[in-house]
Amino acid sequence: MNNYQVGEVDARSLIIFPQPRRVFDGIEELRDSILENEMFSLPIVAALSKLAFGEYTAVINELWCTDFDPGSFKPFKDGKYYVLIAGERRTRAHCLLAKEWKVPWEYLVHLREDIPALAALFIQFAENTHRRVPPDQEAYSYNQFFRVLKKRHPETTLAKFARMVGRSSEAIRNALRFCELPEKVRIMVEEKHLHYSVAVELWRLEQAEIPDEEIERWAFRAVIEKRKADEFHKMISDYLFVRGQGQVSLFGIMSENQREALHRQHRRRTVEGKLVPIHTEQKRYFETVARLISEGLLGEKDSPYASGSPAKRLKALVQTVRTLLPHLEAITSSRQHVEAEQVLVQAESALARITK
């Protein structure tokens, strides 16, 4: 029996297991919004018996590869285990308010009595609509959930699963493809270097049995050339077409060392092509700032120019160079490295005076 009702629970009594969302940002803003306008929608909490809680924990362990022991959790005074199903961001925001003594710890939730584990997970996965989970996190979650569901219900199709979690079949298909990519490529997406939609295009190389090292080179090329998904799709299609026709290119008959040298040369030319215009623009910007200062047009109270912007931009540039400097030591002479360090120290000293 799955009773549905609105009830009040103490947020401190909730059991919170891993969920599709792993990063919880904007909690402070949400806290302020709840304080002013109350909660937009109520979190969903499962009130489980000991047996139902054991079954739910087993599914959670299989889904997230964890080892939670049901016996290590204590039930609430009514003998129930209160498990948060959906609304962790809202719950975190409420707890912040409660810690500040602005609201009581008790808050209203939607309660589900002894809801089956899979039913609870479907609610959880379909609930992230107001603030979408990052696509790579979402992909891992869908991949794991689909695997668990297929194990229990082999007849479940991808299309049916997509409908049950409120996503399109293509979105789920791409999620499963993403999880088949080489680990280094997936990490590039997690660290925001490579766009998710571009990474998914690389799956076609995986299907064509292209070695992981080569797929990683394609990913790196997409990053440094700032390729969009549609143009990257065409690049891969053209490559696979030529490969499928059995045509032998110069690249195909090169040795491994020759191919790697070609890749390095390509990366260097691409990076140079991106960096030179950026360096020129930065140089022109600071030259303009210097001229405006010398003309008395920057920094005065009646100046139409914002004096804070150059300082912020210079600070960001200096911090970037400070991070890069240790990596340049291996390719510069000792004299060049010392000179660069001296210039950097002078810039940091000047910034410290400017930003006081």
5: helix, strand or coil: strand
Contact between 298 and 307 under an 8 Å Cβ cutoff? The reply is: yes
Please report the beta strands in the chain, taking only residues with DSSP state E, as ranges in sequence order. Answer: 4-10, 44-48, 81-86, 106-113
Q: Where are the domains of the chain?
A: 4-132, 180-247, 255-305, 308-356
| 83 contacts 48 by C-beta, under 8 angstroms | yes
Tell me the pLDDT of the chain averaged across its residues: 82
Per-residue pLDDT reduced to its tens digit, 209-264? 888 988 998 998 888 888 899 999 998 988 888 887 765 454 454 455 655 665 56
Q: Which of 100-114, 125-139, 262-276 has the highest mean pLDDT?
A: 100-114
Q: Give Cβ neighbours of residue 146 (< 8 Å, ≥ 6 apart).
A: 156, 158, 161, 172, 176
- In whole angstroms, give the CA distance from residue 155 to residue 151: 9
Is 204 in a helix, a strand, or coil?
Answer: helix
This prediction's pTM: 0.66
- What percent of the chain is modeled with pLDDT above 90? 42
If we measure between CA atoms, which residue out of 80, 99, 95 comes closest to residue 3? 80
Q: What angle do CA 41, 78, 104 make, to 5 degrees?
A: 45
CA distances from 212 to 186, 202, 215, 217 (A): 12, 10, 5, 9
Element (H, E) at 159: helix 158-164
Q: What is the per-residue pLDDT for 223?
A: 87
